[in-house]
Chain A
Amino acid sequence: MDENQAVSQAAVRGVSFDVRVGEIFSLLGPNGAGKSTIISMLSCLLAPTSGDARVMGHSVVRAPMAVKAVIGVVPQDIALYPDLSARENLNFWGKMYGLRGAPLRQRGDEILELIGLVDRQRGAVEKFSDGMKRRLNIGIALLNRPQVIIMDEPTVGLDPQSRRNILDNVKELNRQGMTVCYTTHYMEEAQELSDHIAIMDQGQIIAYGTHAELIKIVGELDRIDLTLNVSSEQVLETWRMLAGVRQVSAQDGTLTLLVEDSTLVLPRLFESASRADVRITSVAVQEPNLEAVFLHLTGRALRDT
């Protein structure tokens, strides 16, 4: 896949990746990185201005209907008819996938069972909790037994329990043989779910690989987040010169350091701060993760962008 619509600025540019059949693939990146644009192109909602993408061998440019027949799309926002019941929503969307009569009823029963809404199937969706709506939102994407399910940040705004349920559902769908294309800006989700991850920023893929491969990019570095009682450029310069410190960045009053071994570096940080008459007011240490990878590649924290 190459470029997206280029009016004044391309949303994505020069993007190219492969997703293997039967795996969970995640696009990880901050808001505005271009994840949803790629999802829209894979869903045939948006045509690329140049280039192409193939889903199960079908071109999104030349054979969009064939692509739509093999995919199921879970949009980022809940896209249901609130004044219809869960069953009526399933019936309508099932018809849009070409299901009719007994097969439609049977598939509706299966989906309701899968998403745990059998008892609430007659209730109007507008009276559902957010978690129930999210589950139905996913269920509709499964109506046509898709070979590839495309999920655009399906856990945004959910409470931890509902989020847990959805992550478990994704794993279960994958276990049943479904290929999952998942976008998120939650590093933990990509880390937990994915066989392969593509990290995106500013419309480009800046890293691609398995979780272990991506961690290697930062070289097993620890991450230390600190706050000081006063802003001090002198301390930052001193820390950059310290042995074992690979990178120092500051954002919104928080200093982030990538270091080789936090247990060795931390005492030196406190010592130099003390000499400069600066007090460290908070410290947090993290093992190497995708957040560190993003920080390493962009100089910005994933959560702050």
Chain B
Amino acid sequence: MKLLDIAFKDLLRAFRSAFLLVMMFGAPLLMTGIFYLAFGGLASGSASGLASGDEGGFDLPVTKVQVVNPDQPAAQYGGFSAGGMLVQFLQNEALQELVQTTVAPDEASARAAVDARQAALVLIIPPGFTAGIYTPDTHATITLYQDPTLTLGPGIVKGLVGQFLDGFSGSKIALGVTEAQLRQRGEVLDSLSAEGQKLLLAYSAWAQKMGESQSQGTNPLLDIQAPPTRAGQGAAASQSPATLVGLVMAGMLIFFVFFTGAGSAESLLTEDEQGTLSRLFTTPTPRSVILGGKFVSVFLTTIVQVIVLLVASALAFGIRWGQPLAVALVALGMVVAAAGFGVLLISFLRSSRQAGPVMGVVLTLTGMLGGLFTTGIADLPAAFNTVNLFTPHGWALRGWKLALAGAGPAEVLLPVLVMLAMGTVFFAVGVGFFRKRFA
């Protein structure tokens, strides 16, 4: 019980220290936050990219459109109505965030709705719209009646209608070219025939699909594929910004957890210098319990830090750390390694005055060798990946890379076991030094 009293006292003191709080939570989140703002934010736009404002995109109002469509399906065109197709296009689910299209019973009521500012614009489809599309050397005109105070919404609708009409214009051109080529071979294709209509509609459908794909940033003619990467070792250049933010946060997490491990262990030196350790030794509390309490506090402090940072970074940067059990295992291994490393490092020092510079140099150096500051750099020399296996930081980073890539508990077991082994050895040696000195 006294052991936990000592550990909780240290935990309380740690969380009252502004410096430690900044180093434990502020610095890693701030440094990752800077990276996130520089790169990660670019990847967080909405899928449609325009209307949704909840992830940093533009927040456009939905444009209300009324359509007057007297263009009826005609038997000579196989019951097809180009006007009806345009209405369906505008009422497509994919466009719901941009336009809200309703069919008006007549032109007068639709114009009245715009005048009353109940709609942004009216599309008036002519009665012979379908015939105008099918018949060569003819044309049909769609009239647009809009609220003159609005520009953006009507502009978007104009673009969408233009995209739709381009599909049919292309169809007519394609049909004309096909007719001409067939004619040269002595064959005849009547645009009004079933074959002609089928060809027209197929081309138009392809054109619509093409336009939609391009508006979403993809091109159906090109299929760009990245080479597959091995989990945990993928080149950073091929990672998405969100993944890169996760890797940077992992690097910061490891660096500052190791810092906290050493910083917590340093309290043994400060208590020795302030006389509270000697005073503890004058109480009826065994020295093993006192030292044990100090060491437990190192573990407790780092555990709290890791939990807070994992949760905070997931909430702040949307980092998905991986499968819960794998994450827990990697976190456990890292805590043991960081606490053991901290206890060992501090056990070599004689005073807290030595601790600041020594911790700074050793932790920065081991952090660099462990690859904590180069998580965003691709194509590091192979030798570097070998060197970082000699540091607990390197193994911790390896564990987090695997977890971030979605690896399961079995896959993270190797780095976790190595971290546990390293941490245990470090801890045992450090405790040995401390016992020799104080017990």
B289 to chain A, nearest CB (A): 10
Whether the pair A44, B276 counts as a contact (CB closer than 8 A) is no
Whether the pair A92, B13 counts as a contact (CB closer than 8 A) is no
Whether the pair A79, B275 counts as a contact (CB closer than 8 A) is yes
Smallest Cβ-Cβ distance to B273: which chain A residue: A77
Q: Is B437 an interface residue (CB 8 A)?
A: no
B18 to chain A, nearest CB (A): 10
Enumerate chain B residues within 8 angstroms of A75, measured Cβ to Cβ: 275, 278-279, 282
A84 to B17, CA, bound (A): 11
Whether the pair B278, A84 counts as a contact (CB closer than 8 A) is no
A44 to B439, CA, bound (A): 12
Whether the pair B282, A97 counts as a contact (CB closer than 8 A) is no
Whether the pair B285, A84 counts as a contact (CB closer than 8 A) is no
A98 to B284, CA, bound (A): 8
Chain B 1-25 interface mask (CB, 8 Å, partner A; 1/0): 1100100010011001100000000
Which residue of the partner chain, among B16, B274, B282, contacts A44 with CB atoms under 8 Å? B282
Enumerate chain A residues within 8 angstroms of B16, measured Cβ to Cβ: 83
A68-B12 contact, Cβ under 8 Å, with A79-B275, A83-B17:
no
A45-B278 contact, Cβ under 8 Å, with A65-B286, A96-B283, A97-B284:
yes
Whether the pair A43, B282 counts as a contact (CB closer than 8 A) is yes
Chain A 74-86 interface mask (CB, 8 Å, partner B; 1/0): 0101111101100
Enumerate chain B residues within 8 angstroms of A78, measured Cβ to Cβ: 275
A144 to B9, CA, bound (A): 20
Enumerate chain A residues within 8 angstroms of B12, measured Cβ to Cβ: 84, 88
Q: Is B280 an interface residue (CB 8 A)?
A: yes
Q: Is B384 an interface residue (CB 8 A)?
A: no
A140 to B275, CA, bound (A): 14
A-facing residues in B332-365 (Cβ within 8 Å): none
A-facing residues in B244-280 (Cβ within 8 Å): 274-276, 278-280
Whether the pair B2, A96 counts as a contact (CB closer than 8 A) is yes
Q: Is B206 an interface residue (CB 8 A)?
A: no
Q: Is B58 an interface residue (CB 8 A)?
A: no
Enumerate chain B residues within 8 angstroms of A98, measured Cβ to Cβ: 284
Whether the pair B278, A79 counts as a contact (CB closer than 8 A) is yes
Q: Is A259 an interface residue (CB 8 A)?
A: no
Q: Is A73 an interface residue (CB 8 A)?
A: yes
A-facing residues in B275-301 (Cβ within 8 Å): 275-276, 278-286
A140 to B13, CA, bound (A): 19
Whether the pair A92, B9 counts as a contact (CB closer than 8 A) is yes
B-facing residues in A59-80 (Cβ within 8 Å): 65, 68-69, 71, 73, 75, 77-80
A81-B276 contact, Cβ under 8 Å, with A44-B281, A45-B282, A97-B284:
yes
A97 to B1, CA, bound (A): 12
A262 to chain B, nearest CB (A): 44
Enumerate chain A residues within 8 angstroms of B283, measured Cβ to Cβ: 68, 93, 96-97
A84 to B279, CA, bound (A): 16
Whether the pair A96, B280 counts as a contact (CB closer than 8 A) is yes
Q: Is A240 an interface residue (CB 8 A)?
A: no
Q: Is A95 an interface residue (CB 8 A)?
A: yes
A140 to B280, CA, bound (A): 11
Enumerate chain A residues within 8 angstroms of B9, measured Cβ to Cβ: 81, 84, 92
B85 to chain A, nearest CB (A): 75
Chain A 29-69 interface mask (CB, 8 Å, partner B; 1/0): 00000000000000111000000000000000000010011
A96-B5 contact, Cβ under 8 Å, with A68-B282, A83-B16:
yes
Which residue of the partner chain, among B1, B2, B276, B282, contacts A80 with CB atoms under 8 Å? B276
B436 to chain A, nearest CB (A): 15
B270 to chain A, nearest CB (A): 10
A43 to B16, CA, bound (A): 31
Whether the pair A95, B282 counts as a contact (CB closer than 8 A) is no
Whether the pair A45, B2 counts as a contact (CB closer than 8 A) is no
A95-B281 contact, Cβ under 8 Å, with A79-B274, A83-B13:
no
Enumerate chain A residues within 8 angstroms of B279, measured Cβ to Cβ: 73, 75, 79, 93, 140
Enumerate chain A residues within 8 angstroms of B285, measured Cβ to Cβ: 96
A75 to B280, CA, bound (A): 11
Whether the pair A73, B17 counts as a contact (CB closer than 8 A) is no
A295 to chain B, nearest CB (A): 33
Enumerate chain B residues within 8 angstroms of A144, measured Cβ to Cβ: 284
Smallest Cβ-Cβ distance to B9: which chain A residue: A92
Enumerate chain A residues within 8 angstroms of B284, measured Cβ to Cβ: 65, 68-69, 96-98, 144
Smallest Cβ-Cβ distance to A92: which chain B residue: B9
Whether the pair A73, B282 counts as a contact (CB closer than 8 A) is yes
A78 to B276, CA, bound (A): 8
A-facing residues in B87-138 (Cβ within 8 Å): none
A194 to B54, CA, bound (A): 79
Ordered by A's residue number, 20 sampled pairs between the chains whose C-beta atoms are within 8 Å are: A44-B281, A65-B284, A65-B286, A71-B282, A75-B275, A75-B278, A75-B279, A77-B275, A79-B276, A79-B278, A81-B9, A81-B13, A92-B5, A93-B283, A95-B2, A96-B5, A96-B284, A96-B285, A98-B284, A140-B279
Give 14 A-B pairs besides A45-B282, A95-B5 with Cβ atoms closer than 8 angstroms: A69-B284, A71-B282, A73-B279, A75-B279, A77-B274, A79-B275, A79-B276, A79-B278, A81-B9, A81-B276, A83-B17, A88-B12, A96-B5, A140-B279
The 9 A-B residue pairs with the shortest CB-CB distance, nearest first, are A79-B275, A96-B283, A79-B279, A68-B284, A73-B282, A69-B284, A95-B5, A43-B282, A77-B275
Interface residues of chain A, those whose CB is within 8 Å of chain B, are 43-45, 65, 68-69, 71, 73, 75, 77-81, 83-84, 88, 92-93, 95-98, 140, 144
